[in-house]
Structure 1
Amino acid sequence: MPHDVVIIGGGHNGLTAAAYLARAGLGVLLLERDDHLGGAAVSAEAFEGVDARLSRYSYLVSLLPQRIIDDLGLDVRLVRRRYSSYTPDPANPERGLLIDREAGAGASDAFARVGAVDDADAWNDFYSETVRLAERLFPTLTEPLPTRDEARALVGDDRVWHEFIEQPLGATIDARFEHDLVRGVVATDGLIGTFTDLDDPALDANRCFLYHVIGGGTGDWDVPVGGMGAVSGELARAARAAGAELVTGAEVLAVDPDGRVRYRHDDAEHTVTAGTLLANVAPAVLERLLEAGATDASARVAALSASHADADGAPIAPRSEHPFSPDGPIDVPPVVRERLRQLAAPEGAQVKVNLLLTRLPRLRDADVAPEAAFAGTFHINELETQLAAAYSAAARGRIPSPLPCEIYCHTLSDPSILSPELAASGAHTLTVFGLHVPHRLLERFTNDELREQLQAAVLESLNSVLAEPIEQLIATDAAGRPCIETKTTLDLEEALRMPGGNIFHGPLSWPWAEPGASLATPAERWGVATRHPRILVCGAGAVRGGAVSGIGGHNAAMAVLEASDA
């Protein structure tokens, strides 16, 4: 079958697009550099000889719409966690704030334990407003982009719009809550993977926060049964069943605006041309592929000019101007040019640590069972003041101490990722996500040095709230090595081609079209346009991209289908 569409990259968004387009009868070829599909949404046996399949990179699901699950017939099961979060008080780790979804009227007692009883009602009011945002805005993520004014009208509350969208997140949190610990718990949703100050008028924290609280129309973050690889596995199954050709071990080397793709597979180079290219790679990676394509094009013109002449017999001169540059013959609006500049050097700001423990550790807070504390999101050293200090330290090129961390335990919700024997032994996985460790730290450290120091900082942060050293509980692999792996931003860049280790592929954008934005083409209306009409972005770099959602892939597919119907 001819290839109507070539998809570059086999992450979950590329698989989503492949499934939709193949189901619509288009010829789809997907090229994935790695030897497996799924990108960051994979499960892996991270420790030699240990039968535990960890969600190695991405680990929770919130933004995956039920529409995609239903449309593609995916057998994906998500487990809702009873406990939202637990946060020990860094000043006195023998007490902490446990947010229990089933607590009801007893919720104020949880706040009273940390001296924040006055924030209990404010918490309920605040999150009732984020639910309103979720209910109104989440359904728009799988529709053509609303305008900013349309999104504001959907929210229907000018005060809520101002506090969450127009005013820096830090100002909103400080106006609503009194206690440093409560402020920090709320603030972290604006900082995951985003290196910014809460009061920065650029509002990067606001955009990050919005995506963290609107998922599924509720803001809940769920555990995928079977691990994250189960989600990508179902998407790959749906794409293959629909007739898409999914090729692994195929490294794309160059693309051009005419739909030509050069790639290497089985030690040979191949070229394929399609009517539409979907880029399930970071926009910065797409730019590099376009630059390589421009070099290819110049070489082709030079080859032709050596044997061809114009009507007067003069040789045809190759073009010296970069034909695909924003500064070339294609007119690029200033706002697009600025976004391209930002996308050229994205920066991640996190460290990911995976552990396998022989059992859950005991807490210094004897009144909270580990099975409750680790069942939700476990916040460590994330007072608002600690988050601000960590940002300041990292901005000066230092590793924050203490390091703000978030932990979750997959196996308390879904033990199926462990072998029956391992689960019966009492073993558990922990995933730790450290904040405010930007890619720029590699200007001062080698990657090995940074990985070692960040791993030590993570363990130190954990131990500050535990009743026993976490090191004593780390299981060992078949060779007797501790079952712990640490992923820096450079590790993500090298393993997943995420420039700067940025998990969002670049700066997040609001989930609507700003005033003056062109909505003339299907690609523009769906938020997946590039400056080249035949190339669409279908990954996390799309408007409304980021996280494991499939939204970028869905919207790119919708744009292709709308254009084909025109």
Structure 2
Amino acid sequence: MDVLGRRVPQARLAGGMKDFYDVVIVGGGHNGLVAATYLAQSGLSTLILEQRAHTGGAAVSERVFPGVDARLSRYSYLVSLLPDKIVADLGLALELRSRSVASYTPVRRSGRDLGLMVERPEGAATRESFRALTGSDTEYEAWTDFYGAVGTLAAAVAPTLLEPLQPAAELRSRVGNALWEDLVERPLGETIERRFADDTVRGVVATDSVIGTFAGLHDDSLIQNRCFLYHLIGNGTGEWRVPVGGMGAVTDALAAAARRAGAALVTNASVTSVEVDGVRGSVTWLGGDGERSVDCSWVLSNVAPSTLAELRGQTGVEKPEGSQLKINLLLRHLPALKSGDDPARAFAGTFHIDEDYPQLESAYQSALAGRLPAVPPSEVYCHSLTDPSILSPELIASGHHTLTVFGVHFPARLFASDNDSVRAEATRRVLAGLESYLAEPLDACIARDADGNPCIEAKTPYDIEESVGMPGGHIFHGDLQWPWATTPADAGRWGTETDTANLLRCGSGAHRGGAVSGLGGHNAAMTILTR
């Protein structure tokens, strides 16, 4: 019997696959693996079809530089939104390690080089760092008040992410009108400007609203507010943790769990069409042995909504637009800083570059006008300080470290004319911004690969689309939505539904999608299992 109680044939296709599955999942990224494991654990026959040679999507670890034994988290690199409950439910062999530093921001003022250090958890050193930057405790007290309030909202929202969508009014009643108005109803820029006076502090707060989202801080659409919220609600704390073994360890653990549960995983399978009629579905793909099709009761889409529309034969589909430049580096050693701060502390958290409040706005306005930002804001993350296991013993012993740089306000439109040349110039500007805070040349720190080339890899939105199939290079598959019901019709639904009853969204394009969270996969599985 299938999930709808119908008797189905049990003949098998070549290669051991059946000719009918309860569920077929298009796309083997982390959300598809989460959905497959829950469904297979519940006894439903489940098939995942993945275009690439391995599962994981953008949540993978790869040896990027020829002849160098370093497995970098190539596209996504930290974990916050993945609920601990999913990790426990699926029995994942996974360690997520906390960082001792939340962020460090180098600052140049009145001829002095300083650094704003935010510990995790915050302590006396954080207060002193704010005082050294601003001359008083006022900004630090505003900081603690603001993030205390944000914590209230996170604690209210986080448990609902694994439940049917809650009415907005219900969540508003839990957090209070004043906080709701500050974070949900007015542009985030207004709230930041009212609560903080220092431009560096304002910028550090604002950066969570622009990672992966191209919007101004006063945008009336409030896209920036939604992005900010998703960055701060993970597991009720908003902490971003390091996956030990790299991001690939997360999806390797998920793939192992899916196989243990009995799901079938097929790679090198490029899906060409999806057909659904509300009761039955059919998925066709091209593989090493030609074209194949399989019928099913349910189809789950772990690809972007625009990709799904194309697979269904719909025309005139508009792609989303990604907005970031990703740069992966391998260093011989961490560079010394002009501020004199210990680089092992400064790079242990998120290292902010040129992200003062006016700099964020200037970069946004430049990109909006079609120009590369002259001083591009970016953030740096060093995986190997928290988890050196991604490096070979030889690289560890010789002091090597990885850096991932995330440049913000680099929409795809900037690279449309000549992706290669604009990528090179954008990379130069971002790395020059980093070097401006260093006490030594960056080039002297960068390792070389087996061919003698610098260990630098840069990815524009177009490169990301080509590499992992994210339309427009948009890391969220499109604009993030509020993680609650925004209309009465949405309340009580799982946020995975489409216009056809047996077709569900299980990826970042689901109502509560985006980032490495597993939420789309869990909620799509629950859409089926709770009917």
Q: TM-score range by the shorter chain?
A: over 0.9
Q: Does 1:406 align with 2:379?
A: yes
Structure-to-structure mapping, 1:157-556, within 5 angstroms: 157-258=176-277, 259-291=281-313, 344-366=318-340, 368-443=341-416, 445-519=417-491, 525-556=493-524
SS of structure 1 residue aligned to 2:373:
coil
Contact 2:337-2:343 within 8 A present in 1 as well: yes
CA distance in 1 between counterparts of 2:297 and 2:250 reads 29
In 2, Cα distance between equivalents of 1:23 and 1:285 = 28
Q: Distance in 2 between matches of 1:466 and 1:276?
A: 54
Contact 1:116 1:179 survives alignment (8 Å)? no
- Give deviations 1:427-476, integer Å, cap 9, x for gaps: 00000000001011123x31111211121111111111111111111101
2:52 aligns to what? 34
> Which residue does 2:169 correspond to in 1?
149
Match of 2:22 in 1: 4
SS of the residue 2:134 aligns to: coil
Residues 236-268 of structure 1 show CA distances to partners (whole Å, capped at 9, x for unaligned) of: 000000100000000000111231111001140
Deviation per residue, 1:391-449 (Å, 9 max, x gap):
00001111101110100100000000001111111000000000001011123x31111
CA distance in structure 1 between the partners assigned to 2:345 and 2:31 by the alignment = 33
Which letter does structure 2 place at the counterpart of 1:392? Answer: Q
Post-superposition shift, 1:141? Answer: 0.4
SS in 2 for 1:159: helix
How far residue 518 of structure 1 moved from its aligned partner, in angstroms, is: 4.3
What amino acid sits opposite 2:155 in the alignment?
A: E
Q: Deviations over 1:513-550 (max 9, x none)?
A: 1133345xxxx711001111111000001011001011
Which is further off, 228-237 or 527-536?
527-536
- State yes or no: 1:560 paired with 2:523: no
User: How far 1:106 sits from its partner (Å)?
Assistant: 4.0
Distance in structure 2 (CA, Å) of the matches to 1:49 and 1:113: 45
Structure 2 counterpart of 1:261, one-letter code: V
Distance 2:438 2:481 in 1: 38
The answer to whether the 8 A contact 2:415-2:423 is kept is no
Q: CA deviation at 1:182?
A: 0.2
2:282 counterpart letter in structure 1: R
Mean alpha-carbon deviation: is it higher for 253-262 or for 33-42? 253-262
8 Å contact 2:244–2:389 — kept in the other structure?
Answer: yes
| Aligned residue in 1 for 2:42 | 24
The 1:189–1:167 alpha-carbon spacing in structure 2 relative to 1, beyond 3 Å, is same
> 8 Å contact 1:78–1:222 — kept in the other structure?
yes
1:344 Cα deviation after fit: 2.7
Mapped partners of 1:435, 1:485: distance in 2: 16
Three-state SS of the structure 2 residue aligned to 1:434 is strand
- For residues 504 and 116 of structure 1, do their structure 2 counterparts lie closer, same or farther at Cα, with a shift above 3 Å needed? farther
Question: Could you list the per-position Cα deviations for residues 93-125 of structure 1 after superposition, in whole angstroms to 9, with x for gaps in the alignment?
Answer: 611201123552343210122225320100011
Quick one: distance in 1 between partners of 2:50 and 2:122? 46
Matched residue, 2:139: 119
Change (3 A) 1:42 1:100: same
- What do residues 118-161 of structure 1 show as CA deviations (whole Å, max 9, x unaligned)? 20100011111111111111010011110111121232x11111
Does the Cα contact within 8 Å between 1:90 and 1:381 map onto a contact in 2? no
CA distance in 1, matches of 2:498, 2:209: 27
Taking structure 2 as the reference length, what is the TM-score of the superposition? 0.94
Runs of at least 5 residues in structure 2 that lack an aligned partner in the other structure: 1-17
2:312 match: secondary structure: helix
Change (3 A) 1:89 1:275: same
More helix by percentage:
1
Structure 2 partner of 1:70 = 88
Q: Which amino acid aligns with 2:262?
A: G
Q: Matched residues, percent identical? A: 54
The 8 Å contact of residues 528 and 537 in structure 1, kept in 2 or not, is answered as yes
Residue 85 of structure 1 corresponds to which residue in structure 2? 103
How many Å separate the matches in 2 of 1:243 and 1:206? 40
Q: Distance in 2 between matches of 1:556 and 1:249?
A: 24
Specify the alignment match of 1:337 in structure 2.
none
User: Distance in 1 between the 2:28 and 2:251 partners?
Assistant: 9
Give the alignment's TM-score, normalised by structure 1. 0.88
Separation (CA, whole Å) in 1 of partners of 2:479 and 2:461: 16
Letter in 2 for 1:203: L
Larger Rg: 1
**Cα distance between partner residues in 1 of 2:135 and 2:382:** 26
How many residue pairs align between the two structures? 508
> CA–CA distance in 2 between the matches of 1:269 and 1:195?
39
> How far, CA to CA, are the matches of 1:483 and 1:5 in structure 2?
42
Q: Distance in 1 between matches of 2:126 and 2:434?
A: 25
Runs of 4+ in 1 over 3 A off after TM superposition: 90-93
